Amino acid sequence: MEFIGKDHALFEQLNKIYIISSSIRRFNIFTTDDDKLVVEVEFKLLYDPGAILKLRFLGIKEYSFYWSSIYHFYYVETYTLIKKDNLFYICFDPEDESSLDILEGDQDFILFGSFEGYYMDRITPV
């Protein structure tokens, strides 16, 4: 695994690393030994076959994901990443992708205090 950034540096990186046209391949949601919630999301970068980006979200304040078998599993067509007060917010299905605020119609989101990014070992495309 290759560390690519944390918090504000990663926030800036994600303006260059595009997770648009990626697909989420895995969610890991767990608590640490001190009962802190962690959400990890792995993205298969479709423009770079075999590349996997992992984002680890810490200091979770709220998250919400919904899925139904009538949909494909989390293809990321657009996303919103903003700083709000002392928190960060990422939404994979924003009501308005140009908004710089959290909207009531946003779906598939995480509100968090800190995050880290990693490139995973490449996988062989099938």
Distances (CA, A) of 87 to 29, 30, 50: 19, 20, 31
Rounded to whole angstroms, how far apart are CA atoms 61 and 38?
A: 10
- Domain-by-domain residue ranges, the chain? 2-119
What's the pLDDT tens digit per position in 35-53?
Answer: 999 999 999 988 887 889 9
Please state the pTM of the whole predicted model. 0.88
What's the pLDDT tens digit per position in 66-93?
Answer: 887 777 777 888 889 999 889 999 998 8
More confident residue, 116 or 15: 116
- Show Cβ contacts of residue 4 under 8 Å, excluding neighbours closer than 6 positions: 10, 13, 17, 117, 118, 119
